Amino acid sequence: MIARLRALWRRDRFDLMGGVVHGFMQMGAALPEAREAFSNCGDVFKTTTV
């Protein structure tokens, strides 16, 4: 999918969080991967909303 988006000259970011199930971001208190994903979202937000 990311290749198709880039072909449209989009600047999307794709981060694969391995070893987790769908909905894992709702488990932020228990999963370090969820906290990392939220941190990544914050980084993207900061760089795109200047």
Q: Where do the structural domains in the chain lie, given as residue ranges?
A: 2-48
Residue 36 is predicted with a pLDDT of 92
Residue 39 is predicted with a pLDDT of 93
Q: Where are the alpha helices (DSSP H) in 1-50?
A: 2-7, 32-48
User: What single letter denotes the amino acid at residue 38?
Assistant: F
pTM to 2 decimals? Answer: 0.68
Beta carbons of 37 and 23 less than 8 angstroms apart: no
How far apart are the C-alpha atoms of 25 and 31, rounded to whole Å? 8
Residues 1-50: tens digit of each pLDDT: 778 888 998 878 888 888 899 999 999 899 999 999 999 999 989 988 87
How far apart are the C-alpha atoms of 34 and 32, rounded to whole Å? 5
If 0-12 CB within 10 Å is exposed, 13-18 middle and 19+ buried, where does residue 28 land? Answer: middle
